[in-house]
Structures are given as structure tokens and as C-alpha cells.
Amino acid sequence: MPKQVSKEDLELLGELGVETTAKKQAARTPREQRIIAGYEEIERFVEQHGRMPEHGENRDIFERLYAVRLDRLRKSAECREVLGEIDRKRLLDVEDDVPAMAVNEGGAMDEALLEALGVAQNTSSDITQLTHVRSSQEKMAAEEIAQRTPCKNFGVFKPLFEQVQNDLTSGFRKTLKYQDNGEIKKGDFFIVEGQKAYVADWGEPFISSYNKPDRRLRVIYDNGTESDLLLRSMQRALNRDESSRRVTDPTLGPLFSDQEADDDQTVGYVYVLRSRSDNPFIAENRKVIHKIGITKGSVQQRVANASKDPTYLLADVEIVETYKVSNLDLKRLEKILHKFFDPARLDLQLKDRFGFGVEPREWFLVPLPIIEEAIQKLIDGTLPKYRYDPKEGQIKP
């Protein structure tokens, strides 16, 4: 507790001419309080960084705004009077150590920035507070969302989004939870805010004002819009969206093998069959009509009763090719191949032994070399970049 001053001491001080009556602190007006609060924010910046806030595009946005504010405080007689006793660091008397031209250009640029951010220049709050300035999170969100514009050549990208959706449906691609600040590269697909996003292009890398590598991206969205944003802004958008996903590349790795590795887990076989049916159409086109199927067990056992099974055209079959599948989902591979050759699916109706009509769905009018080529592209992960043209009997980009 502070020591009480005795009556005798007060009388002695009075005789010496020392004012002993405590002066009441005049109440600050709301405007004065705002001026002081604004000054104190600048003061904290100086204490934290050991220098004055500076203008310039390479400076943090709030530093630039503090620099604008400090310029105005120095020019305002009212503010200098209010802050006279508070300005112990003499911030209002310090001049920038840069040429006047640079100060004017930087100040004018940041004045424009201040106006663009919604801080009115002719109100009492413009000098004292950033009440109209959005938070850094809001500004990031604005850059990542509001900058979208219609994509004028969306017709070029629409087939890519359709192919990705087909790949997801067939299982050739899948989605994974986006990892914080994960890698983003040209050609990647993501799902953000419920929309598919494609990184169509990117600019040259550079070092940002935060001394971190960055680059400008062109991102196309499946709703026909696009945005020109920074890589780190894209990362923030993906991080902020809890449901964001990365769409995997269309590569499945070593699907098939002629040799078993020690750690391989064989899950089954993809097989190609040729029918021995005496149906006139099948007999005429036997060399180009093939069944593509899967089995977890022996292919020979699977087709042992083919002549009684509508799936095998109610006839014996010839095993043309088999491919061992390791460590992967058989059904997924079958769907991929059937989807790829769907334009050449055999449209044929037969009657089973009870006289009921059946329509086998796993037979295709495709030459064997084309099937082998497709499987090779499936192995190396390039199949989604191609399509099968049944009219020309060729796999095309």
C-alpha cells in the first residue's frame, strides 16, 4: 500500500510552493479515445518490430495501414495536441529516412489501398481505427472466392471434369482428405466448397513478402468459373474447408504381374475368353468377340460349365489371356475395363435352356491386341487419357 502523506508534510510542501492538490483527469471524449487507441496500435507495432511502419507493396497490409495512419496523425494539429503527453517515444516527430518522392508514392498508393478496403477517408475513424477493415481471414476468403470470373473457354475443360467424374464412378480414381498445406501442382484436381477444381496452369515461382515460395495459379471450377489466385491462397482455401478432398491421379501402380513378389497378395485374375458358340453372328466374328471378366479362383474352374451358363453364351469357351492381380480390388478393375470398352459392348440376345431371353453384358466386339493395349495402359496409369473408337477399332487420345 502507498504510504499516507501526513498533514504536516502537506503543509510543509505548501510553504515550499509545491502544488499538493491532485488535479482531476479530464474525461476523454470518444473521439480522443479513438485517437489514443489508434496511436497505441502503432506504438505496439514499433515496440514489436523496432522500427516505424512503412509503406510499400512488399509490406504486410496492416503495416501499410499503420503507416497511412501515422502520416495522418502527424499532419493533424488536433491529434498532436491529444497525443502530446502520450507520445513519449516521439513517434509524431520522427521523419521517415527515405526520399520524399518514395514517401509520396508509397503514401498515395496506400491511401488508395485504404479506400479500396472500405476505410472512409473523410470520417473521424479513418485516422484512429481500422473498424471497416476486414480481418486477414476475411481478406483471404475474398481473394479465394470473390475473384472468380466466368471461364470463357470452359468448353475445353468440361470434358476433363466429365472424365474425372467417370473415373470416380468407375473407381479408377478416388478422393483423399486434403492434408494441411499439401502439394499442389499443375494438372491436379481437388474438391473444395463442394466444387471440383482443376489447376489448369501456373506461373513462375517467386518469393512472397513473407519470404516464402509462391506462384500464381489458374484454377478452373466445374461450374464454369475460374480464378487467378496464389498457390498459398489455394492451400488456405483447401485447409479451411473441412470437407475438401484431393482427387487421386489415374494411376493404379503395378496391377498385373507375371512374377510374384514375396509380399504380393494375389486376389485373383482378369481373364479374356473367346466363345466357341455356333451362333452364326458369333461364328462369323469369333476372332473379335471377347469376354472380359474376373475371378478370385482358378479361371479353368470358373469356365468349366460355360455351356450351361448364359454368362458364357451357353457355349464352351477358349481362355485367351489371363492376368494375375495383386493387392487390388478385382471389381474395380473390371468396372474400369468394361467402362472403357462400353461403346463396343456386344448387343446380343440369347435364350437360355428354359427358353427365357438373356442378354450377356461382359462380351465386347474388340480385337485381342486392343484389349492387350488397354490393359498395358491400365498398368502404366494412362488409360483415362484415351478412349476406344469402335468404328476404327483403335484406342485414341
Using left for φ > 0, alpha for ψ between -120 and 50, and beta otherwise, residue 329 falls in: beta
Between CA 393 and CA 397 the distance in angstroms is 13
CATH no. for residue 240? 2.30.30.30
Residues 197 and 271 in one domain: no
* Mean pLDDT calculated for residue range 199-218: 86
User: What is the DSSP secondary-structure string of 196-226?
Assistant: EEEEEEE---EE-TTS-EE-EEEEEETTSEE
Residues 300 and 369 placed together within one structural domain of the fold: yes
For strands 195-202 and 266-275, give the pairing.
Answer: unpaired
Are residues 77 and 173 part of one domain? no
Q: What is the mean pLDDT of residues 91-111?
A: 52
| Range of the structural domain that residue 53 is part of | 26-133
pLDDT for the residue 95: 52
C-alpha distances out from residue 115 to 65, 105, 106, 121, 124, Å: 11, 16, 14, 7, 14
**Could you give the angle at which helices 30-49 and 61-75 cross, rounded to 10 degrees?**
130
Query: Which of the residue ranges 26-35, 93-102, 290-299 has the most confident prediction, judged by mean pLDDT?
Result: 290-299
208 and 169 within one domain: yes
Residue 190 lies in a domain: yes
- Do 349 and 376 fall into the same domain? yes
Confirm whether 9 is domain-assigned.
no
**pLDDT score recorded for residue 201:** 93
Domains identified in the chain, total number: 3
Last residue of a domain, one of 229, 247, 265: 247
Residues 72 and 108 in one domain: yes
Kind and range of the H or E element at 279?
Answer: none
105 pLDDT above the threshold of 70: no
The grid cell for 95 is: 521523419
pLDDT at residue 308 is higher than 80? yes
Asked if the structure places residue 357 within a domain, the reply is: yes
Answer yes or no: is 2 within a domain.
no
Statement to judge: residues 95 and 225 lie in one domain: no
Per the prediction, the chain carries an average pLDDT of 77
366 vs 357: CA distance, rounded Å: 24
Q: Is position 38 within any domain?
A: yes
- Note whether residue 235 is domain-resident: yes
Q: Is 161 found in the same domain as 144?
A: yes
| Claim to verify: residue 157 and residue 195 sit in the same structural domain | yes
Confidence of residue 61 (pLDDT cuts 50, 70, 90): confident
pLDDT for 323 equals: 83
Q: Which of residues 358 and 77 earns the better pLDDT score?
A: 77
DSSP β-ladder status, 195-202 and 149-150: unpaired
- Domain co-membership, 320 together with 193: no
- Dihedral sign of CA atoms 34, 110, 115, 237 in order: negative
Average pLDDT over residues 376-396: 84
Check pLDDT > 60 for residue 139: no
Question: DSSP letters of 48-112?
Answer: HHSS----STTS-HHHHHHHHHHHHHHH-HHHHHHTTTT-TT-GGGPPPSS-HHHHHHHHHHHHH
In the predicted model, is pLDDT for residue 336 greater than 70? yes
- Same domain, yes or no: 234 and 271: no
Average pLDDT over residues 107-112: 53
Q: Which of 215, 247, 279 is the last residue of a domain?
A: 247
Same domain, 231 and 291: no
10 assigned to some structural domain: no
End residue of a domain, out of 214, 229, 247: 247
- Predicted TM-score of the model (pTM): 0.41
